[in-house]
Amino acid sequence: DAAALANWVKSYGFQNMGKSPESLAYYQQAKQLVTELSAKFPNNVDVAKESYETLLSLSASEGAVGRHQEAAKDLGEALAQIAKVNAAEPHDTNVKLELANAESRLVQMLLDGREAPEAVSHLARSADLLQSLLSADPGNANFRRGQSVVEAQWAAALRGAGQPAAGVAHNQNSLRLAQALSQQAPSSAQYRVDVGVAERKLSDGLLAARDSAAALHHAELAVRILCQGEPAAANPGTLANCGRSQLATGNAYLALHNPTAAELALRKAVAIASAQSQADPTNAVACSDSARAQAAIAAALAQAGDAQAARTMYETALASWSLLRQAKSISAEDSHRSDVAALALADLR
């Protein structure tokens, strides 16, 4: 029957293989299968659930390789499917959580596209869904974790709207929620990583609000959490977050006019991102991380008075962004950062 077929699709093996092209190919094939099932069983809830789960995974894989339009389209289709299932099963809390998480993912796409005003309605929808779930089940860890993510997104949206100081309070709420979960489950590696990511995002918020000393404090806390152990043994996602925390540390040192300390942290960020990009050349996120850290190193070199080295590093960063542009994988945020780096390079010539 339809449920058995849906379970067969789920067991087919469309998992992330650690390489973006392979993952994308698996989920594209999965989409084809669930599309055929949906046509045969248009009113079957099990098939609809499998359909939106596949679309969510496909959208994530498309986003990883910089296929932003395709990722948005498939995420939109997933949201429509989840809404359909939610209407059919209004008391299913798992479906409501999926809807809240999907709305949150759409928010992140809009923020990456420098469309903060457009993200607000989806943020409110996600926040309302999570609050209603928490009202019925206040201790649920999944709901509370979702709230932490949404709080960080509120902060980013406010920064995008030119209100960084207001955003800091949301970053602090996000961190508080993540810390509470980690304290209640100290053996959870995922909750510990969540705390590290929240610390790094708070650092970004404080830096935007011009509190550089506090930004450095929280960036260094993020490094301590996310950069433990040998890099080779780290989960790729945790390692990427380690690199971003090193970038946050370097940016804070730059704001404090300590280019030597900034360069030390930033070269660690570049090393991590470059290694991940070499291991997975089509991964647009790793290439973006590398370009952002390279541009920050260039700024540190310029601040230290080494104009020639700064020019070379800006050119390296621009070459990294050019790779994304040539592959039509550059986000609006990275395009903006590339333009800023090009202007900085021009000022050094």
Compute the distance between CA of residue 114 and CA of residue 106 in angstroms, rounded to an integer.
13
Q: For residues 326-331, give the mean pLDDT.
A: 94
Q: For residues 112-140, give the mean pLDDT.
A: 94
The token pair at 89 is 């099963």
Is a pLDDT exceeding 60 seen at residue 180?
A: yes
Q: What is the DSSP string of 167-194?
A: HHHHHHHHHHHHHHHHHHSTT-HHHHHH
Kindly list the distances between the CA atom of residue 71 and the CA atoms of 77, 118, 208, 298, 301, in Å, as whole numbers in the listed order.
Answer: 10, 17, 29, 32, 37
* Contact of 182 with 191, CB cutoff 8 Å: yes
Instruction: Please provide the average confidence, as pLDDT, over all residues in the chain.
Output: 91
Single pTM value for the model: 0.89
pLDDT at 19: 61
Exposed / middle / buried, residue 124 (Cβ in 10 Å: 0-12, 13-18, 19+) = middle
| 317 compared with 230, residue with greater pLDDT | 317
Is a pLDDT exceeding 70 seen at residue 65?
A: yes
Compute the distance between CA of residue 83 and CA of residue 106 in angstroms, rounded to an integer.
14
pLDDT at 234: 65
Q: What are 141-179's pLDDT values in tens digits? A: 999 999 999 999 999 999 999 999 999 999 999 999 999
Is a pLDDT exceeding 70 seen at residue 43?
A: yes
The token pair at 11 is 């067991």
pLDDT at 25: 87
